[in-house]
Amino acid sequence: MASTKGKFKPSAGMKGMSFSHMAKILSRLMGYVVKPRKARFTFAVICVLISAAVIAYNIRFTQTVIDSFIVPLLKMQSPDFTTLNREVIRQVIVVIIGFAANVSYAVTMAVIAQEVQRDLRDKMFNHMQTLPIGYFDSRSFGDVMSYYTNDIDTLRQMIGTAIPQIITNVAFIVCCTVIMLITNVWLTILVAIVLALCFILLRVVTNYSSTFFKVQQGVMGKLNGFIEETVSGQKVVKVFSHEAASMDEFSKLNEDLRQAAFSANRNANILQPIIGNLGHELYVLTALIGGILMVSGFGGVTIGIIGSFLQFGRQTTNNWSQMSMQLNFVVQACAGAERIFTHLDELEEQDGGDISLVNVSYAADGTPVETAERTGHWAWKDGNKLLPLTGDIELKHVDFSYVPDRQILHDITMSARPGEKVALIGATGAGKTTITNLINRFYDIDSGSITYDGIDIARIKKPDLRHSLGVVLQEAALFTGTVYDNIRYGRLDASDEEIVAAAELVNADDFIRTLPQGYNTVLAGNSEDLSAGQRQLLTLARAAISDPPVMVLDEATSSIDTRTESMVQAGMDALMEGRTVFVIAHRLSTIVNSDVIMVMEQGRIIESGRHAELMEKKGRYYELYTGVFDFV
Amino acid sequence: MWKTLLKHLGKYRTSSFLSAISIMCEVIIEVQIPYFMAQIIDKGIPSGHIGQIVVPAVILVACALASMGCGLLSGQFAAHAGTGFAANLRRAVFEKVQTFSFTNIDRFSSSGLITRLTTDITNVQTAWLLLIRQIVRSPFMIILCFVQAYRINPQMSIINIISIILLSAGFAALMVGTRPIFRRALKMYDKLNRIVQENIRGIRVVKSFVRERQETKKFDDTSAGIYTSYVKAEKLFSLTNPFLQLMFYGTLISIAYFSARLIVVDGTMTTGELTSLIMYNMLILNAILMTSMSLLQVVNGGASGRRIADVLAEESTITNPAQAAIDVTDGSVEFHNVTFHYNEQSETPSLANVDLHIESGQTIGVVGDTGSSKSTLVQLIPRLYDANVGEVRVGGRDVREYDLQALRDKVAIVLQKNVLFSGTIMDNLRWGNPDATRDDCIRACRLAQADEFISCLPDGYNSRVAQGGANFSGGQRQRLCIARALLKDPKILILDDSTSAVDMATEARLRQAFAEYLPDVTKFIIAQRVNSVKDSDAIIVMHKGQINGFGTHEQLYAANDIYRQVYDTQNPAEKDERDAAAGASGEKPGGGVRPDACLRPTAPSGIALEGGVA
């Protein structure tokens, strides 16, 4: 792949993310969650509110039982339990309603969360298919892959867990506060003050311990880097008997990490007991101050109120601490969401073409007539005009650069007449692959012109242009599926017989028949059951079945050893028969019989002609051919 | 599995233990709180004396503080124990990996070992922290709370028993029910990732064949499959919270209702005790939730633990002999009827019945197709693998009799997948010989044709090498690796396709330098380009794990089909000439461009170079 190696790194990390920026990301995300399912989402929110209200009501139950029943009943001679019974039945009904609301909300949210994830996933992949090749060339494989793994993962947790929990907790906190205020203002103020103190304390401890985590992260990165490097090169370590030295270095880094991890963890472990016990302190304070208030007859505090406040206190502490945990998560997820949105906002590949490729048959007088079925004859359809496809390609004064100011191709002029075989040779980076990238419009030229049967390729619809060009690349990309599936990738309506015929044409049939299930053998995409040569043969069969008028063979044999190559070569020769072909090669044996050989150096064509002519000239080609000079 | 791992707890046994103890103290004290609470409500408030309230309240605050203290202490011990345990494990695994033979490394794969040393260790650390705190704390909490509740009122504790059983059973059912679904869904995720992976890697194919729509459909189908199975599991899983609340309020109502009767009718209970019971009930239910969550995580850590234990239990397939020979007398190599399998299960051996006799100081070329076991053949010489049948002899002695380091010092191999490490060029060279002087290094680099480009670098021999040597070209890396091997001052030098990225002119100089300055070293050269080995004393032609031909270029070209075929395809010009039957071969013009040529004066003078290649 000829590409600019610049690695794209989006502004990762949320340290610098402003609040308003985060709000924007969140509201966009909520758009994906809410918009397609307003009714269900509203239903879920209503259920949350009901269930929160029920919980708050439940907590007051303790107070009701104590104040309205136990205390008065204790004073009676013959206690009458009928009212209590009635109250209990009412309570049971309320609990059941709460449970129902709770279940419907939880299930609805779980389904919504899954839907949103599926939709986002599909959207991302769908969008990715429309992106230009330049997008993939300018990013590392890992970067793109991580949208689907890491980023969608954080999003999954956020949509699946964080958002529902935040909604629940907010609802609870609101309900509890309202009911506490109704029950007793003074004790509510007390709870509020203690909670506020809790959170200030928490903030301080968290901030303090997070600095240690950063240190740990750094040390861990160093150790992991060392591990990765050493273990990847473990065989070299063995060959040089370097085990003891590696161990020394490792021990040092390992001890550093242990110390850093210890500091980080001991500070983090301060949090849990504090949170847990602040609940107790609040508990005690409520009882103490409540008791004092009650004894002094201030504020209308009763035993029952104290009892229920003890629980309100706990409940709200729990809600707050859960919510603060989830909020941390939201901040993290925002970074992931931002990366996904950036990906979704990438510009799609533009297609300005209006000329399409159609099947034609020829009438008796030789005029082409458009047909629906495959005839093996093609034509370009420009409005009503039909222009037969012959496979004549011409480049005139083409300049090109992947990134501005770094010109890759300089003034390239070349032509391939129908049925001609054109070879491009030159060192890595000379610009051979770039030329093929331009012909199928993976990239657009800066200046000059490229024509196909005399038509400017910019005027041809991209899918149609690409249908008319068959490409076989150095890296034989296969897809998981059967041998049939992989060859059929070239033409989806090909019959099994046609596939076998294509395989026979390129000499692939023999080895396919030796596979365990023949053509039905399932190949893994990165299959190591096949040799490089065999994989390449399959991609040749794939190109053969698509039967394109023009073929591009880009270093199709360079990863194969010489002997296997001779096997593949016969297949390639068969494939090239009767087509216009561009061959990029570094082994000259494969291209000596070309109609034109172009020698490229640093983005320029320095020599061109037939083998004999070039040998005569005793220039660079001659040096290459006689082995004096070699590409590195 | 835990037994293997726990052996490496070492001195962190004490802090693990202390952490568990202090967390138990925390629980013991914490459980007292609702009890004193009841005192305030029952005695303090009705008495009307503020003093009666304040005294138990002060005790309560003291309890809460004490329990917090224990919790903090436990946190410190746990941090010490968890991180220490992880460090010990990491060290043990790394140490083990250092003893691994190539076979062991192949079995786990480098990436597998890296995962074990990083992610897996972290998982075990997390699991251990949970184990010595949460898993001790929560069940202990359940027991103590239950005991307290029982002491308040034995009858009422029946409600607790019922709620404990119901909730535990409910959680267990949820986990058992959702686990297989989650596992299935995870597999579908792998499939989805694979589709994305293949799509990105093959994006040029996708676009060339205009298959975007089919790819999208393939993706959407799998994505929909994930949705269907996940929705099922998540629906079930989402019931956790409603169920917990139902249990909580169910027990709350029953406790309140029955207590009301006990308080009012029997007078065997007090209002304060009622609030304590409710409190204990809440603590119990929470503890059950915590236990099940922690168990889930510990189980997940278990998978990592098993993977680590596998490495620790692995025995190195190659070990040093008891009375090892240290002297490698010369560079002669013999193979006697050697058969070798990478995998004991495989039917076809990678090498079969190989016999070879190479005299010290010879240059031997090795050619053959990919997969013909060229690398396998030479890797048996420094005993990177052991032959299954037959023996390999170096310097007249079975390689299994030598001390490993002594053998590998004298048999230097430059692996096909050679690696440079981050550090300076000098650091990397000294892997070959830690005591090498600067002059030694320069000499080796001149021999390996590396000095020329190194002296062009601004920092010369002190230039940084990035991880994997990424800042050098393929050819430069290969020459550095050769120099590194030369510094061992070996008796046998093996180059496994180590000059594939070096241009022909440089490679020719390299060969010439070897012949001139390393006449006594036996040299094995595996090459794709036949021309690289054409002038060797003998050439081995490998085919399907066997020696197909052995002899000089002339002999093989005359008698060996494979050799002739390869040679002809790679030398079309010569073949043309021969075909044209033009007797004498023409003089080849010399001197291509030397890619490394730079304007700076090379070769710092003053170093009397045996290997001073002109």
Give the tens place of pLDDT for each residue, A253-267: 999 999 998 888 888
Give the confidence band of B45 by pLDDT, cuts at 50, 70, 90: low
CATH number of A478-547: 3.40.50.300
Question: Is A495 in the B-facing interface, judged by CB distances under 8 Å?
Answer: no
**pLDDT value of position B462:** 92
**pLDDT value of position A150:** 74
Token pair 């199975």: residue: B229
**pLDDT value of position A597:** 92
Give the confidence band of B589 by pLDDT, cuts at 50, 70, 90: very low
Task: Work out the mean pLDDT of chain A and round it to a whole number.
Answer: 82
The pLDDT of A224-243, averaged and rounded, is 84
The pLDDT of B501-512, averaged and rounded, is 82
Of A333-342, B230-239, B348-357, B481-490, the range with the highest mean pLDDT is B481-490
The pLDDT of A294-321, averaged and rounded, is 75
Give the confidence band of A631 by pLDDT, cuts at 50, 70, 90: low
Helix (H) or strand (E) segment spanning residue B83: helix B50-99
Close Cβ partners of B551 (under 8 Å, ≥ 6 residues apart) = B538, B539, B559, B560
**pLDDT value of position B613:** 34
CB contact under 8 A, A269 and B409: no
Per the CB < 8 A criterion, the answer to whether B53 and A288 are in contact is yes
Q: Is the pLDDT of residue A415 over 80?
A: yes
SS3 per-residue string spanning B387-440: CCEEEEEECCEEHHHECHHHHHHHEEEECCCCCCCCEEHHHHHCCCCCCCCHHH
Q: Is the pLDDT of residue A122 over 80?
A: yes
CB contact under 8 A, B216 and A145: no
The pLDDT of A338-351, averaged and rounded, is 88
Percent of chain A residues past pLDDT 90, beyond the cut:
16
**pLDDT value of position B609:** 41
Q: Is the pLDDT of residue B596 over 50?
A: no
Task: Work out the mean pLDDT of chain B and round it to a whole number.
Answer: 83
Of A304-313, A331-340, A558-567, B138-147, the range with the highest mean pLDDT is B138-147
The pLDDT of B598-607, averaged and rounded, is 40
Interface of B with A in 39-58 (CB under 8 A): 40-41, 44-45, 48-50, 53-54, 57
| Residues of chain A found within 8 Å of residue B246, distances taken between Cβ atoms | 95, 99, 102
CB contact under 8 A, A266 and B76: yes
**pLDDT value of position A9:** 33
| pLDDT digits 0-9 by tens, B172-196 | 888 888 878 877 877 888 888 888 8
Q: Which residue of A has its CA nearest to B95?
A: A247
Q: Would the pTM count as exceeding 0.90?
A: no
Give the confidence band of A448 by pLDDT, cuts at 50, 70, 90: very high
d(CA A411, CA A424): 15
| pLDDT digits 0-9 by tens, B116-132 | 888 888 888 888 888 88
DSSP state of A384: T
**Which stretches of B100-209 are DSSP H helices?**
102-108, 110-115, 121-132, 134-152, 157-201, 203-208
Per the CB < 8 A criterion, the answer to whether A98 and A54 are in contact is yes
Shortest Cα distance, chain B CAs vs residue A365, angstroms = 33
The pLDDT of A345-374, averaged and rounded, is 86
Better pLDDT: B235 or B594:
B235
> Which range has the worst mean pLDDT, A25-29, A155-159, B432-436?
A155-159
Q: Is the pLDDT of residue A71 over 50?
A: yes
| pLDDT digits 0-9 by tens, B365-381 | 999 877 788 888 999 99
Percent of chain B residues past pLDDT 90, beyond the cut:
21
| pLDDT digits 0-9 by tens, B313-357 | 988 888 888 888 888 888 899 999 999 988 777 667 888 899 999
CATH 3.40.50.300 maps onto chain A at 478-547
For B543, list phi and psi in degrees, rounded to 5.
-150, 120
CATH 1.20.1560.10 fits A31-344, yes or no: yes
Close Cβ partners of A182 (under 8 Å, ≥ 6 residues apart) = none
> Which range has the worst mean pLDDT, A504-513, B2-11, B583-592?
B583-592
**pLDDT value of position A1:** 36
| Residues of chain A found within 8 Å of residue B422, distances taken between Cβ atoms | 229
**pLDDT value of position B611:** 38
- By DSSP bridging, strand B538-543 and strand B522-526 are unpaired
Chain A / chain B CB contacts < 8 angstroms: 421
CB contact under 8 A, A73 and B37: no
Q: Which residue of A has its CA nearest to B259?
A: A70
Give the confidence band of A8 by pLDDT, cuts at 50, 70, 90: very low
Q: Is the pLDDT of residue B51 over 80?
A: no
**Which stretches of A425-552 are DSSP H helices?**
432-439, 462-467, 483-488, 496-505, 509-514, 532-546
Give the confidence band of A224 by pLDDT, cuts at 50, 70, 90: confident
Give the confidence band of B521 by pLDDT, cuts at 50, 70, 90: very high
Q: Is the pLDDT of residue B308 over 70?
A: yes
**pLDDT value of position B479:** 92
Q: Is the pLDDT of residue A54 over 90?
A: no
**pLDDT value of position A451:** 94
Shortest Cα distance, chain A CAs vs residue B277, angstroms = 12
**pLDDT value of position A456:** 93
Question: Is A468 in the B-facing interface, judged by CB distances under 8 Å?
Answer: no
Shortest Cα distance, chain A CAs vs residue B589, angstroms = 7
| pLDDT digits 0-9 by tens, A489-526 | 988 889 999 999 999 888 888 888 888 888 998 887 65
**pLDDT value of position A526:** 59
CB contact under 8 A, B256 and A61: yes
Q: Is the pLDDT of residue B612 over 80?
A: no
Per the CB < 8 A criterion, the answer to whether B72 and B18 are in contact is no
DSSP state of B325: B
Close Cβ partners of A469 (under 8 Å, ≥ 6 residues apart) = A439, A440, A548, A550, A551, A552, B208
Closest-CA residue to B218 (of B202, B231, B233, B234): B202
Give the confidence band of B412 by pLDDT, cuts at 50, 70, 90: very high
| Residues of chain B found within 8 Å of residue A62, distances taken between Cβ atoms | 252, 256, 274-275, 278
Question: Is A477 in the B-facing interface, judged by CB distances under 8 Å?
Answer: yes
The pLDDT of B233-255, averaged and rounded, is 84
Q: Is the pLDDT of residue B9 over 90?
A: no
Q: Quote the tokens at residue B461.
A: 């021999």
CATH 1.20.1560.10 maps onto chain A at 31-344
Of A2-16, A147-161, A566-580, B79-93, the range with the highest mean pLDDT is B79-93
Q: Is the pLDDT of residue B465 over 60?
A: yes
Per the CB < 8 A criterion, the answer to whether B549 and B556 are in contact is yes
Mutate to test the interface with A, among B29, B101, B249 (most CBs of A within 10 A): B249
Say how far residue A448 (Cα) sits from the centre of its chain. 37
Q: Radius of gyration over alpha carbons of chain A, in Å?
A: 36
Mutate to test the interface with A, among B36, B132, B205, B215 (most CBs of A within 10 A): B205
Question: Is B593 in the A-facing interface, judged by CB distances under 8 Å?
Answer: yes
d(CA A362, CA A375): 10
Of A70, A110, A467, the CB nearest to B234: A110
Shortest Cα distance, chain A CAs vs residue B305, angstroms = 19
The pLDDT of B381-406, averaged and rounded, is 91
Q: Is the pLDDT of residue B171 over 70?
A: yes
| pLDDT digits 0-9 by tens, B215-229 | 899 899 988 988 888
d(CA B116, CA B105): 13
Token pair 């172009």: residue: A598
**pLDDT value of position A13:** 40
